[in-house]
Amino acid sequence: MTASSRTVGGAQQAAEASERSPFARLTELLSPFQPGKPLINLSLGEPQHPVPDFVGPVLAKSVSAFGRYPIAKGTEPFRQAAARWVSKRFALPRAIDPDSEILVLNGSREGLFFAAIAAARYVSARKGAPSILMPNPFYPAYAAGARAANCEAVFLPTTRDNGFLPDLDKLTPATLDRTVAFYLASPANPQGAVASRAYFDRVKQLADRHGFIVLADECYSEIYTQTAPGSMLASAGDDFANVVAFQSLSKRSNLPGLRVGFVAGDKKFLARFHELRNVAAPQVPVPLQDVAVAAYSDEAHVDENRRLYKIKFDLADQILGNRFGYVRPAGGFCIWLDVSAHGGDEAAAVKLFKEGGVRVVPGSYLARSQADGSNPGAGYIRVAMVQDSETTAGALHRMVEVLNESRGQ
């Protein structure tokens, strides 16, 4: 097998370590120390921009709906609003059917987790031990989902050499024949890489040929400063077969605490997914879905959100230049910095905290070691650009000062 992997059964301890929160590991790493300056937290990808003005009035108007159980598939107004938005935003080959091709989620994270279980039940028998592909580094919910589905997690290294996206040419027929699902994040977390239409087309061809489900994580699609990222759904054909895409209001609308998102695509898979969610997944309160209807019906607050992120990336361009291998990401709100020349990712994270009061995540905490012992996240730190522009600029200046790196030529 060309793609490196570790079996759940044969590497239980490693699997459990990979499913530990990177933030819990970071807390342990930094626990012996105090921040050297007033703390600036750039570790957690929690948007800090203002909550949209419409949230309060919508909740007040809908408060009585907290008195009844919500249906698992989502209210009709929510499904219609989400279907309209995703169909228009990504210029899909045809409009999403709100009755059969969309489900509400309690945020995209739980949907991504439960989707692995649903995919393992949905696909035909695999040729070999069932597996789930995912990028490495990866969102922890992917590995947790694979383990819950009793599937082998196959980690596909995403590095600068392959554009920070899984190298499809490295996937062998034997690996693909036993694949249940493929988690694909675009824009990627943490590097911000965006898949092209040609890349999506190739993934779709592989899914159809080998009979697996593409679980496209697109929760960062609305955070960009240049070209709007596309969607895997646009490459999925008129029936969206073997493809579902996950969206969330956390990043798009600066509403991480609302816990509302959706999944759209293949109606046959979503019917099975709904059966599982109807008995096992958290329901989404109706008033929160009403807020989501308002959010998906308004783009002004999203434009303003992007404007605020653009200001901060402009600052990063000026302050970092080409230090730490910095490249402005195509999407998302994180920057992925190479600190291998500064003792590695853990050492740099400790130094930035102890001397600069800046909290960042070591890249190795976001990834799994490959079969050859290498970790694609090692030597990098993830910096979430979520604070206001003045605070962000201060943190970036501290990072340059603490790590004492002059501008490269």
Binning pLDDT at 50, 70 and 90, where does residue 404 land?
A: confident
Residues 15-48 as b/e (b if ≥16 CB within 10 A, e otherwise) read: beebbeebeebbeebbeeeebbeeebbbbebebb
Three state DSSP letters for the chain: CCCCEECCCCCHHHHHHHHCCHHHHHHHHHCCCCCCCCCEECCCCCCCCCCCCCHHHHHHHHHHHHHCCCCCCCCHHHHHHHHHHHHHHCCCCCCCCCCCCEEEECCHHHHHHHHHHHHHHHCCCCCCCCEEEEEECCCHHHHHHHHHCCCEEEEEECCHHHCCCCCHHHCCHHHHHCEEEEEEECCCCCCCCCCCHHHHHHHHHHHHHHCCEEEEECCCCCCCCCCCCCCHHHHCCCCCCCEEEEEEHHHHCCCCCCCCEEEEECHHHHHHHHHHHHHHCCCCCHHHHHHHHHHHCCCHHHHHHHHHHHHHHHHHHHHHCCHHHCCCCCCCCEEEEECHHHCCHHHHHHHHHHHHCEECEEHHHHCCCCCCCCCCCCCEEEEECCCCHHHHHHHHHHHHHHHCCCCCC
Q: What is the reported pLDDT for 19?
A: 61
Torsion angle in degrees (nearest 10) through CA of 379, 385, 386, 388: 140
Q: Which residue has the tokens 């301890």?
A: 13
Q: pLDDT of 118-140, one tens digit each?
A: 999 999 999 999 999 999 999 99
Q: pLDDT of 3-30, one tens digit each?
A: 444 444 444 444 455 567 899 999 999 9
Tokens, residue 399: 């990072």
* Fold classification of 66-298 (topology level): Aspartate Aminotransferase; domain 2 (3.40.640)
Q: What is the reported pLDDT for 211?
A: 98
Q: What is the reported pLDDT for 17?
A: 53
Q: What is the mean pLDDT of residues 146-167?
A: 97
Q: pLDDT of 259-304, one tens digit each?
A: 999 999 999 999 999 999 999 999 999 999 999 999 999 999 999 9
Q: Is the pLDDT of residue 2 over 50?
A: no
Q: What is the reported pLDDT for 125?
A: 94
Instruction: Name 335's bridge partners.
Output: 383
Q: What is the mean pLDDT of residues 25-39?
A: 97
Binning pLDDT at 50, 70 and 90, where does residue 408 land?
A: very low
Q: What is the mean pLDDT of residues 389-406?
A: 93
Q: What is the mean pLDDT of residues 336-355?
A: 97
Average pLDDT of the chain is: 94
Q: What is the reported pLDDT for 20?
A: 79
Residue 189 CB partners (closer than 8 Å, separation 6+): 45, 137, 139, 217, 220, 332, 334
What's the pTM? 0.94
Planar angle of CA 234, 334, 244, nearest 5 degrees: 25
For residue 238, give Cα distances in angstroms to 10, 81, 234, 334.
41, 20, 9, 34
Q: Which of 252, 286, 296 is nearest to 74 (CA)?
A: 286
Q: What is the reported pLDDT for 406?
A: 57
Q: Is the pLDDT of residue 405 over 70?
A: no
* Fold classification of 5-50+301-403 (topology level): Aspartate Aminotransferase, domain 1 (3.90.1150)
| Residue 335 to residue 86: CA distance in whole angstroms | 26
Per domain, the residue ranges of the chain are 5-50+301-403, 66-298
